[in-house]
Chains A and B, each alone.
Chain A
Amino acid sequence: MIWSGLNRQVDPALFSSMSPEKILYDFDGPQIFTFMGSFGQELLAYLCSALAGCERFIVVPTTPTVIGELERGELAVRDALTNSWIWIVDRSYSGDVLAAWAVEEASLPRTVLPEAGILLIPPDMDIDDTFASPVASLAESFFVEFHLKPEKNSSLFTNDIIFPSMRACTAFLRSAFMRFLNVEPEFVFSSAGTGSFVLRDEVRIAHDKAERLPEVVRFLTTEARTGPDNDGLESWRRLLNVLRENRVEVTIKAFRNTLPLEFIELGTSQQKEIRHRIQETRKAASPDQRIIVVDSLDVPQADDLIRVFQVAELRVAGCLVTPESLGGITPRQVSYYTRAAKLLNLLDEEDELTPGGQIFGRLPDEDQLRTCVVHFESSICGEAWIRWSVGNTLLDVRPESSADFLKDCSSGLSEDTQLRRAKTLSNWYGLLIPHHYARQRF
Chain B
Amino acid sequence: MTEKTTEGAKILVVDDDPDMRDAIGMMLEPAGFQVIMAKDGEEALLKLAAERPNLMLLDLLMPRKDGFAVLKELHEEEKWRAYDSMPIVVLSSVREEPARRRYHLETAVQFAADDYVEKPVSPTALLQRVKAALAKTSTARQK
**A and B part of one assembly:** no
